[in-house]
Amino acid sequence: MTQKTSASILYLNTIYDINEKFRIMFVPDLADERKKQEVIQKTKSFYQVLQDEIAAIYHFYEEVRSDTQQRAVSVTEIIQQSDITIKDIPGDTNLEKVETVGKKIYQSLFPDQVKEYIKENPIDTIVLLSTNFLIPFELMHDGESFLATKYDIYRSPILEDVASILVSEKAQNQAGHLAIVTNPTGNLPAAERETAQITDFFEAKKDLDLQINLYSQKGATYRALSKIFSSPRLDIFHYCGHSGVTRDDIYFHLPDDPYSVIDLYLQYPALFFLNMCESDIKVSQKVAFEESKTLNFPMAIMKRGAKACLATLWPIVDASAAQFATTFYKQLLKGEPFGTAIRKAKEHLANVSDPNDITWLSFILYGRPGFSTVTIPKKKAPPEAEEPAAPALPKGISVFLSYARQDSTTFRVKDIARQLEFDPRIDKVFYHERDFIGNIAAYMNEKITQSDVVVVFCSKNSQRSRNVQEEVRAATLQRKNIIPVYIDKQDVPIMIRGRLGVKFNPKNSMASIMQIKSKISITPRKRT
């Protein structure tokens, strides 16, 4: 049996052009400014041709909306109205129609340099970096299949002043918490059928130590949401209902008062699963939020400190939505990162869904691959004997080494790992050149969670490394003991510049290793 080769993350930058009608485009990381401008101009012209078909995709739900699901805000106030509908796009089924548009997006708006890079390199994750999102790149089709069934795809918004949440020790030791809010306005019976299936799915998991709170119709009040978001622990928030938007606010539509995202203060970095039943909350919309910034609902949620936000390109409330959600949660409970869980759910539904049911294509993910798992604790088995158990022996310390691959030799990472493993106080040392196989996001999440100490080797290379940035952020949010190691202190990320670090001396690496060991030894030893 051949060993699975290591794959990696592809980060793609986007540009938002404020002064023109064109909104967003991919721009590969080209050093040549002239070539970059050529790519931009080509992409603009292709987008102008495709924008009607893209708008028709966003308006797909208008073709199947029931009369009881009326909008509070006209969709034409949010995104450009299309001159065509999805019926005008070639294809015998809805799936074929979306394939048609997806192939055009891939051929016209996805740069050739990126296509070649993906073919020549083992990529399993694509991260879209932007201050704005409009083009549904998740619908891209390369002629063989949708890219969303081949890669884990994250929309990672570039945001300022993101809320920082420090999880308390008490919250870490509590039961998991799932909060479900469904049909708060009382006119979406399909939403309640969907969330009933999700509730049944989690309640059947008898081994989980999980508190499930369900709020529906008149019970889904402003006070109820305030209680949910102020909980010391909130692993998953699943919302199935209407949302609202004004020119300066985004809110959950409730039976009493609207709950504005501005009022949302999380105590725990939760996963948000938003199945909004209003076309005016499509991820394509742009609304003002905090001065001149423009955010959509998922971006506003992320700004408030959410771990990730799962949303839809068009609103869906039916049995297929429930099937997608339960398939996604099933993968999540296996320990899969959010991106992988979505991809596997899409793969499954692509094989079993009717060609006219394209519900599974609607789901997209806002998040960061280095911080993308949910761990629900298991119930503790009752003690077999009544007599008190003997105190557990102390468990050794686990250490995660975070570094840019180009710095492996400079910082003598392998030698440091070997020296640390000789220390009897240290149980395990993780570093990706030896331990990483498979999905990089899963590796980050699993190994950082298992570690007590994260040693970050800081340099100009690490400043440019997205993986190191994700690892530092994940370690900070998980309140790990972080030890920066640097040659120039200016290379230490601002987020961890206040931590006690070690100045690395390339001419006397053994002395530096001894200092690293000394810093690690301060970490309290765990008990098994």
- 317-344 tens-digit pLDDT: 667 888 899 999 999 999 999 999 999 9
What percentage of the chain has pLDDT greater than the value 90?
34
Asked if residue 254 lies in contact with residue 221, where contact means CB atoms within 8 angstroms, the answer is yes
Strands (E), 225-316: 236-241, 243-246, 249-252, 259-260, 271-276, 287-288, 294-295, 308-312
Q: Looking at per-residue confidence, does 314 or 353 come out higher?
A: 353
Q: What is the DSSP letter of 380?
A: P
Max mean pLDDT among 29-33, 105-109, 137-141 falls in: 137-141
- Residue 511 CB partners (closer than 8 Å, separation 6+): 505
Q: Using alpha carbons only, give the angle 121, 307, 201 rounded to the nearest 5 degrees.
A: 95
Instruction: Spell out a b/e string for 36-46, using b for 16 or more CB atoms within 10 Å of the CB, else e.
Output: beebbeebeeb
Average pLDDT over residues 398-427: 91
Superfamily of domain 394-527: Toll/interleukin-1 receptor homology (TIR) domain (3.40.50.10140)
Helices (H), 368-439: 413-422, 432-435
- What pLDDT does 346 receive? 94
Identify the three-state secondary structure at position 433. helix
Range(s) within the chain of domains with CATH label 3.40.50.1460: 169-367
Asked if residue 40 lies in contact with residue 25, where contact means CB atoms within 8 angstroms, the answer is yes
What would the pLDDT profile of 247-271 be if each residue is shown by its tens digit? 667 889 899 988 988 888 888 889 9
Token pair, residue 258, equals 């609207």
Of 14-28, 79-93, 196-210, 257-271, minimum mean pLDDT range: 14-28
Range(s) within the chain of domains with CATH label 3.40.50.10140: 394-527
What percentage of the chain has pLDDT greater than the value 70?
75
Q: Which CATH number fits domain 169-367: 3.40.50.12280, 3.40.50.9100, 3.40.50.1460, 3.90.1150.10?
A: 3.40.50.1460
**pLDDT classification of 400: cutoffs 50, 70, 90:** very high
- What pLDDT does 509 receive? 85
Largest alpha-carbon pair distance within the chain?
77
Q: What is the DSSP letter of 283?
A: T
Average pLDDT over residues 517-525: 77
What would the pLDDT profile of 8-36 be if each residue is shown by its tens digit? 788 776 654 444 443 344 444 445 566 65
Q: Looking at per-residue confidence, does 3 or 408 come out higher?
A: 408
- What pLDDT does 56 receive? 60
- What pLDDT does 524 receive? 64
**pLDDT classification of 212: cutoffs 50, 70, 90:** very high
Rounded Cα–Cα distance for residues 462 and 30 (Å): 20
Q: Using alpha carbons only, give the angle 237, 243, 248 rounded to the nearest 5 degrees.
A: 110
Asked if residue 502 lies in contact with residue 515, where contact means CB atoms within 8 angstroms, the answer is yes
Rounded Cα–Cα distance for residues 140 and 113 (Å): 16
Pairing status of strand 123-130 against strand 152-157: parallel
**pLDDT classification of 391: cutoffs 50, 70, 90:** very low
Token pair, residue 182, equals 């469904």
- Residue 132 CB partners (closer than 8 Å, separation 6+): 14, 16, 23, 24, 286, 294
**pLDDT classification of 347: cutoffs 50, 70, 90:** very high
**End-to-end C-alpha distance for the chain, whole angstroms:** 35
Q: What is the identity of the amino acid at 527?
A: R
Q: What is the mean pLDDT of the chain?
A: 79
